Structure 1
Amino acid sequence: MSVAAPAPAASADPPVEPPAPSRARPWRAHLTVALLALGTAVYVTNGLWRDPYVNGLSDNIGDQAFFEWLLGYGVYTLGHGSDPFFTDMLSVPFGVNLAANTSISVYTILFAPLTYLAGPQVSYVTILTLNLAGSAFVWYLFLRRWLVRSPIAAGLGGMFCGFAPGFISHANGHLNWTAGWVAPVVIWQVLRLRQPGHWLRNGLVLGVMLAAFFTIAAEGLFYTALASGIFIITWALAGAVRAEAKAAFTTVLRALGVTAVVAGALLAYPLYMHFAGPQTFSGTGFNQRYFAEDGAAYLSFPSRSLAAIFGFGSDLAPNRTEETSFFGVPFVVLILVSLVLVWRRAEPGRRATLRAITLVGFVFLVLSLGPRLNWMDGELPVPMPYSLLSHLPLFDAALPLRLALVVAVVFGVVLALITQELVDRRLSPSLQTAMTAGIVVALLPILPLPVRHQQRAPEPDFIANGTWQRYVSDNGVLSALPFALNVTADGQRWQAYTMARGGPQFRIPGGYFLGPMTNGEEGKKQIGRIGAPNLPTDWLFTRAALYGYVTELSDADRAQARADFAYWKLEAVFLPEQITGSDHMTLFRNAVLVTATDLLGEPERVDDVLVWRIRPGVDPIDR
């Protein structure tokens, strides 16, 4: 990619990584941006930091519970030598294919000591904060090294790339999508592949990177590879740099060959598990036509922004975790004007880079709109290019609207480039003033607000003190009521806390994860769904918790319960004093209590929960 002007007449893209500035290393600028990024990340996540053990993300408490579970499973993996890509701790009796989920195995292992000492709750908010701060800082380093000279330009662009509205939205639960630092690290190494004489070393490093980052952000890695491919091909075809690209072709091809061999060897098992392992599936369980970007969202303001305080927020996203664009009209206009101004002043080599960057942004913007065009919360009968890709491998497991996160990064690059023009005072005085004001006006409305939080039900003493061990055999099956789902995730996170402590463990039926639509018929690929297939008995409790619906039970219901309990090998269930719902949802604990008592008889009071033992072959009411 190009270094900043002044550039050679033919090309601004050096054949190797550009040398460091001759002056002393800019540690002061690096430290300033690092502290600013960390401070902003703590500000965004401060609601969780106030009390990580009590507070949870109200806009996506289910995903937080899932990632906390993975962090607890990391400690369990190290202590028991278990498979990091498949578990039987969830969804008894079939288990869960973690390779087909976002297993974040690298994070779970690296942070296992912290998880063991402080709990998954602290590890979770630590990773979330470092993800956001690290993304902004690494993008700053990338921009400073490859595109602009000014620390102000690189800092502004990097901060936008790290804290763009889409990434703030994904801070509601997603440790994978907030790991935006993965993209600049990978792209940096891709650009180094053309270094003469270092194809073996560079290919090896990139291969190891891809293997490590696969578990952290597989979908993001796919988007990075796709964007890199579009950029490199478009850039290499430009007349101004064609000779340079041709000279680097053999070196890059050799390096990519090494990358393929190394990454293929390291990822052989996880890729097998992902595509052909037990409990695998196609798709994600989410509707791609629903999880597509609304075209009007690009011109709207996000719900967690300064503009939203004054009533200008929008609800054009499927949920508050998927507001992946939402730049607002002022910022979109700023980017379009900036592209024109930077293009007009660019040397031929820099124009090759700009052309490639612009094409990447345009392609990802169009693809983010999904299979059909959506506008102002309505789907129009207009087919879009993504409809041709939606059934292809990898694309079938992606959600189109998340492609807009690449558009956000492209906008951040353009923001850095126009800021460099302003720092160099290459514009006329009037245009200089107008563009400076334009940046302020465009950025102010989308300044982020902290993610929303709520209190979660505390871990019961029954679990924390290990009392549960008196009611379940070693590695036996235990469940909280209602059973664990994305909107009732307490039981799953309490299992996570138990795994994080080491020692005896219990397994749970159900859980929040992605799995096949039905269990059984091994070897037959199925479409994906959220969680395990419902049985009548767990739905009985879920319906009571979510809607307060109490069913008048019959002998047939009790017979079904016996069969379901045997299917899960369930030994005991318990009802805590509080049940957590997402988005400040009120759950009906009393309805769950009435249902459980009608089905299982009077409970036993143990510590701070109500417990029902399940004896195989015994009618629940005849305990």
Structure 2
Amino acid sequence: MTAVAPAEAQPSEPAAVDRPATRPWRRRLPVDAAMALGSLALALWITHDIWADPVNHTIGNNSGDHAFFEWLLGYGSWVVTHGADPFYADVLNNPLGVNLAVNTSITVYALAFAPITMAFGPSVSFVAILTLNLACGAFAWYWLLTRHIAVHPAAAVLAGLFGGFAPGYISHANGHLNWSAAWVAPVLLCRVLTLRTPGRWLRNGLILGVLVAIAFSVAAEGLFFTALACGVFLGTWALHPAGRAEARAALPTLLAALGVAAVTAAALLAYPLWLHFAGPQSFKGTGFRQSVHAEDLLAYVAWPARSLAGAFGMAGDFAPNPTEETSFFGLPLVLVVIGALVLLRRGATPGRRATLTALAVTAGLFTLLSFGPRVKLGNEVTDIPLPYALLGKVPLFDAALPARLALVVTGVVTVVLGLLAHRLIADPPKAWARVAGAAALVLALLPIAPIPLLYAQRAPVPQFITEGTWRRYVADGTALAPLPLTSDDFPDGQRWQAIALADAGRREAFHLPAGYFLGPGGRDEKGRIGAPERPTTVVFGRAAKTGRVPAITNGHRANARADLAYWNVSTVILADQVSGAFYPVNHGAVFETATLLWGPPTRVQDVWLWNVA
């Protein structure tokens, strides 16, 4: 997630940024095509177990986020067919709705893939986007390295495959359509590196502004980190003695283009930005503890779970959950990158040294910040403060998770690997040194080679939902309450609503109480996961988790009546099978609890139904 801007290149070094490439496009085309197809093939292999049955297979490590992003895709179809607000959904968390601008709403994806979602369902759109995220990330890094840094195509292929399928992106592929979008950083960097082109400040600024708006809707946190990385890298490079003159010469054009980009992005994002910071159901901070979601000191030298090393039982358990292994390079790769930064400086021109210095500073700073507000060692948070403690309450930083800053370091490693491989290919050292360099790359990269994502079987979607039978029992504008009440623990109800929303032939979709999303109501006036719990939510949650049926009293019944009225629920259902995100659902306890509250249910197709209107 950083840029390279050398000024003086020796024949053995990659050419300067934004200078014409030496290889005609016809000669590059076969390599470009092979890289694109190879990246897509690798992405399909990693996701093939989800492709095998998209509806019934879920991400094994993160079924809750999987269902959440499917819901976003279903809602995108609803926006297209019904003209709903793309940034605020009133069909979820009835009656308050959900502010999607402050959530990871992937709005551009949801709208662009709406035709696929309506034709094949949100489950297919989900796995298609996940696959393309990884494949396009690898190709985008390859494109940046060949077009803007002009490294040897073979070196760019190697580095691009690392950049797109790095441990952090494979980890986030466990359900995150925002953070698995590895293409965001290199695409933005390609455009940033063109901003200094004389005479094109208006065109380049407009293009960057549009891309910033797209990136905001796909991965706002990633956009923020990429902007920080660009500022640190370019600032360091411009302050280096070898870069000052070139920086001063490019500054007027760069500032003009940035101004155009800022105005363009602000115009496109005015409404979602207002919703994000000041709209209804917005909040400050995050519902996650930053000290927990920070990199462990051992994480950088550990190997990831979904890797070749992990398959042989050598993975390190130093992440808060399987979706946040954001560094996990392994000790060999860390040593190779440090050695490469030292090696590449030998005999380098002053301009190249400025670039390498900026790379090292960017990597060092973001590594330090990724450790969070306090040192964490062996999964134990200590009392030793770190610089991030000063940033934790600063706007934007207060809503970020520091561990994810390690993805900036992944970008630096990608560029360094490209430069190192280019040196070994284009300026071969002595034979023994070339063999040693190639062996070091193999030993560093082979253990972290990715393996397919884990999957799990999830409960089938009831025919009551897929065949639209629910319309005969749920009045327009009222809510349907699946049991247990929908949350991050029990995401099935949200997945069912996604299917109803994607059905363009329906005049109306049922509303859903509660749900899985980020909203206000957390501790210290920060955000929280889902809506604040109501008594009925707690009763069914405990029954589902523990299997114990509570002694239902008139007080429970009164609370249930009040909660159903608040949610405007007309119908309650319990499917024959319900999936839990973290543990099995005790179906019998949920059924008995509901029967004690509302009496015997009616059997309709494959669900139990209570008419509570």
Distance 1:19 1:11, change over 3 A: closer
Q: Which residue of 1 aligns with 2:544?
A: 545
Cα distance in 1, alignment partners of residues 245 and 161 from structure 2:
35
Q: Is the 8 A contact 2:242 2:354 kept in 1?
A: yes
3-state DSSP class of the match of 1:295? coil
Q: Which residue of 2 aligns with 1:417?
A: 419
1:514 pairs, out of 513, 518, 525, with 518
3-state DSSP class of the match of 1:612? strand
Cα distance in 2, alignment partners of residues 158 and 518 from structure 1:
40
Shift of 1:152: 1.0
Cα distance in 1, alignment partners of residues 553 and 612 from structure 2:
18
Q: Does 1:488 align with 2:490?
A: yes
Cα distance in 2, alignment partners of residues 475 and 602 from structure 1:
26
Shift of 1:292: 0.6
Q: Deviations over 1:101-126 (max 9, x none)?
A: 01111111110100000000000000
Cα distance in 1, alignment partners of residues 37 and 351 from structure 2:
34
**The 10-residue stretch of structure 1 (141-150 or 478-487) with the greater mean CA deviation from structure 2:** 141-150
- Which amino acid in the other structure matches residue 10 of structure 2? A
Shift of 1:345: 3.4
Q: Deviations over 1:106-164 (max 9, x none)?
A: 11111010000000000000000000000000100101112243111001111001001
- Which amino acid in the other structure matches residue 514 of structure 1? L
Q: Is the 8 A contact 2:462 2:575 kept in 1?
A: yes
Q: Deviations over 1:431-486 (max 9, x none)?
A: 22111111111111111111110111111011111111121111210011011111
Within-5 A mapping of 1:445-460: 445-460=447-462
Q: Is the 8 A contact 2:14 2:422 kept in 1?
A: no
- Which amino acid in the other structure matches residue 578 of structure 1? Q
Percent of aligned positions with the same letter in both sequences? 52
Q: Is the 8 A contact 1:9 1:347 kept in 2?
A: no
Within-5 A mapping of 1:207-606: 207-502=209-504, 503=506, 504-517=508-521, 526-582=525-581, 585-606=583-604
- Which amino acid in the other structure matches residue 604 of structure 1? T
Q: Deviations over 1:40-98 (max 9, x none)?
A: 10111111000111100021111111111011101101111111111111111111100
- Which amino acid in the other structure matches residue 572 of structure 1? T
Cα distance in 2, alignment partners of residues 63 and 10 from structure 1:
44
- Which amino acid in the other structure matches residue 527 of structure 1? K
3-state DSSP class of the match of 2:384? strand
Cα distance in 2, alignment partners of residues 85 and 274 from structure 1:
9
Cα distance in 2, alignment partners of residues 99 and 549 from structure 1:
39
Q: Is the 8 A contact 2:287 2:522 kept in 1?
A: no
3-state DSSP class of the match of 2:322? coil
**The 10-residue stretch of structure 1 (378-387 or 22-31) with the greater mean CA deviation from structure 2:** 22-31
Cα distance in 2, alignment partners of residues 11 and 455 from structure 1:
48
Q: Which runs of 5+ in 1 are unaligned?
A: 520-524, 616-623
Q: Is the 8 A contact 1:77 1:84 kept in 2?
A: yes
Cα distance in 1, alignment partners of residues 569 and 606 from structure 2:
21
Cα distance in 2, alignment partners of residues 364 and 407 from structure 1:
6
Shift of 1:260: 1.3
Shift of 1:243: 1.3
3-state DSSP class of the match of 1:192? coil
- Which amino acid in the other structure matches residue 474 of structure 1? D
Cα distance in 1, alignment partners of residues 531 and 383 from structure 2:
34
- Which amino acid in the other structure matches residue 438 of structure 1? A
TM-score (norm 1): 0.95
**The 10-residue stretch of structure 1 (135-144 or 424-433) with the greater mean CA deviation from structure 2:** 424-433
Cα distance in 2, alignment partners of residues 18 and 387 from structure 1:
45
**The 10-residue stretch of structure 1 (344-353 or 160-169) with the greater mean CA deviation from structure 2:** 344-353
Q: Which runs of 5+ in 2 are unaligned?
A: none
- Which amino acid in the other structure matches residue 159 of structure 1? L
**The 10-residue stretch of structure 1 (255-264 or 144-153) with the greater mean CA deviation from structure 2:** 144-153
Q: Is the 8 A contact 2:151 2:419 kept in 1?
A: no
Q: Is the 8 A contact 1:10 1:349 kept in 2?
A: no
Cα distance in 2, alignment partners of residues 417 and 190 from structure 1:
20
Shift of 1:232: 0.9
3-state DSSP class of the match of 1:574? strand
Q: Is the 8 A contact 1:11 1:348 kept in 2?
A: no
TM-score (norm 2): 0.96
3-state DSSP class of the match of 1:32? helix
Cα distance in 2, alignment partners of residues 166 and 9 from structure 1:
31
3-state DSSP class of the match of 1:267? helix
Cα distance in 1, alignment partners of residues 442 and 542 from structure 2:
49
3-state DSSP class of the match of 2:272? helix
Q: Deviations over 1:407-448 (max 9, x none)?
A: 111111111111111112432322221111111111111111
Q: Is the 8 A contact 1:58 1:582 kept in 2?
A: no
Cα distance in 2, alignment partners of residues 470 and 270 from structure 1:
36
